[in-house]
Amino acid sequence: MKNAVIGNNKQKANLIVLGAVPRLLYLLQQETSSTELRTECAVVLGSLAMGTENNVKSLLDCHIIPALLQGLLSPDLKFIEACLRCLRTIFISPVTPEDLLYTDATVISHLMALLSRSRYTQEYICQIFSHCCKLQHWHSCGFKSLPQPLLCANGPDHQTILFNHGAVQNIAHLLVSTSYKVRMQALKCFSVLAFENPQVSMTLVNVSVDGELLPQIFVKMLQRDKPIEMQLTSAKCLTSMCRAGAIRTDDSCIVLKTLPCLVRMCSKERLLEERVEGAETLAYLIETDVELQRIASITDHLIVMLADYFKYPSSVSAITDIKRLDHDLKHAHELRQAAFKLYASLGANDEDIRKKIIETENMMDRIVNGLSESSIKVRLAAVRCLHSLSRSVQQLRTSFQDHAVWKPLMKVLQNAPNEILVVASSTLCNLLLEFSPSKEPILESGAIELLCSLTQSENLALRVNGIWALMNMAFQAEQKIKSDILRGLSTEQLFQLLSDSDVNVLMKTLGLLRNLLSTRPHIDHIMSTHGKQIMQAVTLILEGEHNIEVKEQTLCILANIADGTTAKELIMTNDDILQKIKYYMSHSNAKLQLAAMFCISNLIWNEEEGSQERQDKLRDMGIVDILHKLSQSSDPNLCDKAKTALQQYLA
C-alpha cells in the first residue's frame, strides 16, 4: 500500500474510498499489533494525509487525531516519530481545526517531554506548535479589529497555553541545533508565539542560550548569508518583540538589522511569497513609529520598488518554470495588497512621504482600481492606503480631486463587510473636511443617508465614523445641508447618540450639534424646529456624570444658541439652564468657567434687541457679582472675558 500511494493522489483517493483508513487505524491501535506493523500503518496514513484537502477531511472524520495522540504514549521511538510526522502533516492542512490539539490538557505537556527524544521529534513538534498557535484575534495593520472569540469558550488562548507549559524554555535551545530544519521550525514557533504578545516578547528578550541572548541569536539569523526563509522568520520575531514593546524602536537591531532585511525582501529578485511577507511584516513594524517610517521610505528606493508589485509578472520570459508562472498569476493579487498595506504604513504620518507615494507612477489609478477588485483583501488594503493618504490636506485638494476618488469610495461603502466599512468611513470623514473639493459631489451622491445609517450600527467604530463624518459635513455648511442632516438623523437617533455609552460618540455628536448651530439664521431656524429637544439634551448632559471635555462642548453649544436672535429666548425663559450657567461660572475648572462666560456675553451683548431686559434679569440672578469676582481672577483669559462682559453693563 505504501508504495502504491506515494506521490499518487488518485491511488490515495481510491484507497480512502475503499475504506482503508478505519482498517489502518484499527491495526494502529491494536495492542497485539507488532510495533513494526503499527509504524507502517502510521506511515501509510501520513502519506494519505499528504494528498488533497479532501483526504485530510476523510482522515479527520475517522478520528485519526486521538488515535495518533494515543500512539505517542508508546515507548518505541520509531513509532512515535511516525505518529508525529503524520500529525504534523494533518495539522499543517488548512482544513484541520487547531483546537483539536488542545482538547486534552495532558497532550501539550507530553509533547514538551518528547522534544528531547530526537531531532525528528523536535522538528515535527515545533512545526505542530507553530501551526496550532492561533491568536484569539488577528490585529490587522491600522485598525484593531474586535477580538474574535475562540472555539473553546473563554479558555486561555493558544499562545498562553503553550507559554504556560514552558514552550519558551523548552524550545529556545533548539535555535542552536545542528539540524537546519529544527532551527527553522523553532524559529517559526517563536515568531508565532511572540506575535502581539507582550508576555512572551518580554520573556524572550531575557532568555539566553549558550551565553547568548535570543535577540542576538535572531540578529545572527538575519544575516545575508543565511537562507531567505530564516532571514524572514527571524525578522518577524524581532518585529513582534518590537511591536510588543520588548525592544525599543530605535534599537540598532531594529534600525540597522531588521528594517533593512525586510526592505531587501521586497526586491524584484525575491519570490512572490517572500515579497508579500516582507512587505506585510515591514508594514507592521513601522505602522506606529514615525521615525521608522522615515527611515524605511529612504532605504533602497523602497517607494519605487513597491511600484513593481503592481506589474507582476512583468517579463514572462524570465520565468522559465511554467508551474511557477501559473502559481504566481493566481497569487499576484497578494502582491498588490501587500504593497497597499506598506504604502499605508509609510504614509501614516509624514507629509513628504505621502507626496512621494502619490507621485509614484499611476498611484492614484492603482488605488482606484484596487477599490473595485474582487479580492476582499486587496479592497481592504487599497482603502487603508487611501485612508492614510487622505490625512493630507494638500492631497485632498489635488490628487484626490483629479481622480474623483470619492466615486469608487462611495461604491465601496455600499454593502461592504464591517472591516472595510470602518476604514472606508474613516476616509470619508477626511474627504468631508471643509477644505476638500470632494465634499459637494459626495453630498449629492446620497452620503447623508448612508452616514445616518452608520450611526445606528452595533459596531462602535462605525457609529463614531458616521457621526464624525456628519460633523465634518455640517462644518460651515449651508442651511439646506444642515436641515437634511437633522431630518436624516431624526430626534430619537440624536438622543440615542447623546446617551451612547462611548464618550467618543458623545463628543462627536456634540461637535455635530455645535456645527449645526453656527451662523445666526441657521441657529434661529434649527432652534425654531428642534429647540425643545435640543434644550432637553443640553440639560441632560449638564446634569449627567460626564467629563470636563463633554461639559465644555455642551456649554459651547449653549453659547452658540445664545448668539441666535430669537433662539436666545429659549435660554432666557429656562431658569433651570440659567442656574446651570451660573453654577459653571464659579466652577473649579477654568475651561468650564470660560465656556459659561461665553454664554453670558452672548446674552447681554448691548447692540441687540432686548439686551436691557436680559441684563436686568441676569443681574437679579447675581451674575454681575460673579463677573466682578472673576475680573480679579489670576487666569488672564477669565479676567479679560469678565471685564469685557462688565463693560456691556456700563455701556
Is the per-residue pLDDT at 434 higher than 80?
A: no
Which residues pair with residue 208 across a beta bridge? 213
Question: Quick check: helix, strand or coil at residue 248?
Answer: coil
When pLDDT is cut at 50, 70 and 90, the band that residue 316 belongs to is low
Burial of 444 (0-12, 13-18, 19+ CB in 10 A): exposed
Check residue 154 and give its pLDDT.
Answer: 42
Taking the C-alpha atoms of residue 257 and residue 220, their distance in angstroms, rounded to an integer, is 9
**Mean pLDDT to the nearest integer, 108-120:** 95
Nearest to 343 by CA among 297, 395, 375: 297
The helix (run of H) or strand (run of E) holding residue 569 is helix 568-572
Question: Quick check: helix, strand or coil at residue 311?
Answer: coil
Of the given ranges (127-136, 148-157, 287-296), which has the lowest mean pLDDT? 148-157
Is the per-residue pLDDT at 321 higher than 90?
A: no
Percent of the chain with pLDDT over 90: 71
Q: Is the dihedral of CA 504, 505, 510, 516 positive or negative?
A: positive
Check residue 31 and give its pLDDT.
Answer: 86
Which residues pair with residue 140 across a beta bridge? 143
**Mean pLDDT to the nearest integer, 318-332:** 77
Percent of the chain with pLDDT over 70: 95
Taking the C-alpha atoms of residue 116 and residue 124, their distance in angstroms, rounded to an integer, is 12
**Mean pLDDT to the nearest integer, 609-636:** 90
Is the per-residue pLDDT at 361 higher than 60?
A: yes
* Structural contact between residues 429 and 469, judged by C-beta atoms closer than 8 angstroms: yes
| 382-407 pLDDT tens trace | 999 999 998 887 887 778 777 778 88
* Structural contact between residues 191 and 240, judged by C-beta atoms closer than 8 angstroms: yes
Pick 401 or 367 by higher pLDDT: 367
DSSP character at residue 174: G
Check residue 292 and give its pLDDT.
Answer: 97
CB count, 10 Å around CB of 32? 6
Q: End-to-end CA distance of the chain, in Å?
A: 107
DSSP character at residue 253: I
Q: Is the peptide bond before 313 cis (omega within 30 degrees of 0)?
A: yes
Taking the C-alpha atoms of residue 506 and residue 503, their distance in angstroms, rounded to an integer, is 5
- What are the residues whose beta carbons fall under 8 Å from the beta carbon of 359, sequence distance 6 or more? none
Question: Quick check: helix, strand or coil at residue 133?
Answer: coil
Burial of 332 (0-12, 13-18, 19+ CB in 10 A): middle
| 276-314 pLDDT tens trace | 999 999 999 999 999 999 999 999 999 999 999 998 766
| 221-273 pLDDT tens trace | 999 999 999 999 999 999 999 999 999 999 999 999 999 999 999 998 899 99
**Mean pLDDT to the nearest integer, 327-341:** 90
Is the per-residue pLDDT at 86 higher than 70?
A: yes
Which residues pair with residue 213 across a beta bridge? 208
In this structure, what C-alpha cell is assigned to residue 442? 459626495
Nearest to 594 by CA among 554, 545, 541, 642: 642
Is the per-residue pLDDT at 624 higher than 70?
A: yes
Check residue 551 and give its pLDDT.
Answer: 95
Q: Is the dihedral of CA 224, 230, 234, 236 positive or negative?
A: positive
In this structure, what C-alpha cell is assigned to residue 7? 506521490
- Rounded to the nearest angstrom, the gap between the alpha carbon of residue 617 and the centroid of all alpha carbons in its chain is 54
Is the per-residue pLDDT at 318 higher than 70?
A: no
* Structural contact between residues 578 and 571, judged by C-beta atoms closer than 8 angstroms: yes
Q: What angle do CA 439, 441, 442 make, to 5 degrees?
A: 65
* Structural contact between residues 451 and 466, judged by C-beta atoms closer than 8 angstroms: yes
Which residues pair with residue 248 across a beta bridge? none
* Structural contact between residues 162 and 108, judged by C-beta atoms closer than 8 angstroms: yes
In this structure, what C-alpha cell is assigned to residue 86? 503524520
Check residue 320 and give its pLDDT.
Answer: 66
The two counts, helices (H) then strands (E), for the chain are 42, 2
Question: Quick check: helix, strand or coil at residue 208?
Answer: strand
Summary mean pLDDT of the chain: 90
3-class SS string, 591-627: HHHHHHHHHHHHHHCCCCCCHHHHHHHHHHCCHHHHH
Taking the C-alpha atoms of residue 570 and residue 528, their distance in angstroms, rounded to an integer, is 9
| 480-527 pLDDT tens trace | 899 999 999 988 898 899 889 899 999 999 999 999 998 899 999 999
- What are the residues whose beta carbons fall under 8 Å from the beta carbon of 201, sequence distance 6 or more? 194, 240, 241, 244, 245, 246, 247
| 551-567 pLDDT tens trace | 999 999 999 999 999 99
DSSP character at residue 209: E
**Mean pLDDT to the nearest integer, 542-555:** 92
